[in-house]
């Protein structure tokens, strides 16, 4: 391995505020954190951009920092040679002009990227760490294939979004083996794209319950009046939801019944193999009623809550903590948290979108029996309950 690991960045598109910009850019310029700007310990050696648009800034970045701009994924991994020449790969297939399917999922080329990446790795017979941004894939079969292929080739694989690593205020991290009764996450935005964030934030909390993760036996996506009827039927806890909302609701709008305040509600009902259940209560728009995501859980009859805070303006320092964990994997060769979390949430989202497409039906999910143990060690994460001045450091493109 080179003195500083060389990284290939494979991205769908690269414009200001894109996932490529807020992740790859930090590997080039540094990571704004609560302690200040942390210099990169790895170097971006190559960049492949699948779609170059008018507002592209990736080519400018490559030229300014001596990064090889590549015309193909194999070129990016081989640096123009005949075999693998990098020590890690960033695969970021988020944003860009890709078709939607009938379930409202955008068909990003995540499996295609990984097929190309793993092909080069297989030919070299030298596994290097790979990070896949956000979902593993649109379809469960593709996500399962990616994990199986990584295991076959001994590729250290991490995936997911920044949401499990957001600032938490008040601080809350369940002890491993905790007895959880039920849990709720409050969220908003596009049902699939932002619903994924909410489901992953939930999973990062509830996977720490007694026995570890057992997988999902059934899911259901409800919309509109069916959401409130499910609460009346006792299928999700209004008490927990109201406790979570108080953490992130705007003070002047935090009173009154939920039905009067929520525009186009969506609920993800999640039934786990071990009998545990949890809910994502989601606004299918941003109305200003809440300012962030939040979590509430019932533990031994006591309600525990936390707000999950990101940064809505540059330099988007919450991505620093995601990227720092990825960098640590590039240095150590060991993932910072289990990829099975992302695999389970990817499958859950595919099933939830299918539930909505079929008329909000409850779907049994025997294929989602993804059992795993969460890692005991804490990943690199914010040290403060909210962003500090140090984390607000900005830099030009």
Domains, the chain, ordered by start: 6-164+315-337 (3.40.50.720), 167-309 (3.30.360)
Cα 167 from Cα 170, distance rounded (Å): 9
Predicted TM-score (pTM) of the model is: 0.96
pLDDT of residue 128: 98
Burial of 359: CB neighbours in 10 Å, binned 0-12, 13-18, 19+:
exposed
Residue whose structure tokens are 């300012």: 291
CB neighbour list of residue 83: distance below 8 Å, 6 or more residues apart: 123, 124
233 and 376 Cβ atoms separated by less than 8 Å: no
Indicate if the alpha-carbon torsion angle 234, 253, 223, 204 is positive or negative.
negative
CB neighbour list of residue 229: distance below 8 Å, 6 or more residues apart: none
CB neighbour list of residue 249: distance below 8 Å, 6 or more residues apart: 289, 290, 291
Burial of 223: CB neighbours in 10 Å, binned 0-12, 13-18, 19+:
middle
pLDDT of residue 326: 98
- pLDDT digit of tens for each residue in the chain (397 aa)? 448 999 999 999 999 999 999 999 999 999 999 999 999 999 999 999 999 999 999 999 999 999 999 999 999 999 999 999 999 999 999 999 999 999 999 999 999 999 999 999 999 999 999 999 999 999 999 999 999 999 999 999 999 999 999 999 999 999 999 999 999 999 988 899 999 999 999 999 999 999 999 999 999 999 999 999 999 999 999 999 999 998 887 644 545 677 777 778 999 999 999 999 999 998 765 555 666 799 999 999 899 999 999 988 899 999 999 999 999 999 999 999 999 999 999 999 999 999 999 999 999 999 999 999 999 877 899 988 888 889 988 765 5
| C-alpha count within 13 angstroms, C-beta hemisphere, residue 272 | 26
Instruction: Tell me the β-bridge partners of 302.
Output: 299
266 and 221 Cβ atoms separated by less than 8 Å: yes
**Phi, psi values for residue 186, rounded to 5°:** -100, 135
pLDDT of residue 252: 41
pLDDT of residue 82: 96
pLDDT of residue 289: 64
pLDDT of residue 396: 56
Q: How many CB atoms lie within 10 A of CB 355?
A: 22
């Amino acid at each position: 391995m080179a003195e500083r690991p060389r990284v290939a960045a494979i991205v769908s598109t690269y414009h200001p505020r894109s996932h490529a910009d807020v992740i790859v850019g930090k590997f080039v310029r540094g990571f704004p954190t609560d302690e200040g700007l942390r210099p990169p310990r790895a170097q971006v050696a190559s960049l492949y951009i699948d779609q170059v648009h008018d507002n592209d800034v990736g080519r400018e970045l490559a030229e300014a920092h001596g990064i090889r701009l590549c015309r193909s994924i194999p070129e990016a991994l081989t640096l123009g040679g005949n075999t693998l020449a990098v020590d890690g790969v960033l695969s970021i297939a988020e944003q860009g002009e890709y078709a939607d399917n009938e379930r409202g999922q955008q068909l990003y080329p995540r499996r295609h990227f990984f097929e190309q990446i793993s092909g080069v790795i297989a030919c070299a017979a030298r596994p290097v760490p790979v990070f896949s941004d956000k979902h593993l894939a649109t379809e469960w079969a593709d996500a399962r294939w990616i994990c199986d292929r990584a295991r076959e080739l001994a590729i250290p694989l991490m995936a997911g979004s920044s949401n499990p690593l957001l600032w938490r205020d008040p601080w809350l991290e369940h002890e491993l083996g905790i007895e959880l009764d039920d849990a709720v996450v409050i969220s908003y935005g596009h049902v699939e794209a932002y619903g994924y964030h909410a489901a992953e934030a939930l999973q990062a909390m509830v996977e720490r319950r007694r026995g570890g993760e057992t997988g999902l036996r059934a899911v259901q996506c409800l919309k509109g009046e069916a959401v409130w009827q499910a609460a009346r039927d006792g299928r999700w806890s209004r008490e927990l939801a109201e406790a979570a909302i108080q953490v992130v609701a705007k003070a002047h709008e935090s009173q009154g019944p939920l039905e009067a305040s929520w525009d186009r509600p969506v609920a993800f009902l999640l039934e786990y193999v071990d009998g545990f259940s949890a809910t994502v209560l989601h606004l299918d728009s941003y109305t200003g009623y809440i300012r962030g995501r939040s979590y509430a859980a019932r533990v031994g009859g006591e309600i525990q809550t936390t707000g999950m805070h990101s940064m809505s303006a540059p330099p988007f320092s919450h991505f620093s903590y995601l990227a720092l964990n990825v960098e640590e994997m590039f240095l150590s060769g060991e993932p910072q948290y289990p990829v099975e979390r992302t695999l389970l949430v990817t499958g859950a989202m595919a099933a939830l979108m299918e539930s909505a497409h079929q008329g909000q039906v409850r779907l049994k999910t025997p294929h989602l029996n993804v059992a795993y143990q969460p890692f005991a060690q804490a990943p690199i994460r914010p040290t403060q309950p909210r962003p500090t001045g140090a984390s607000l450091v900005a830099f030009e493109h």
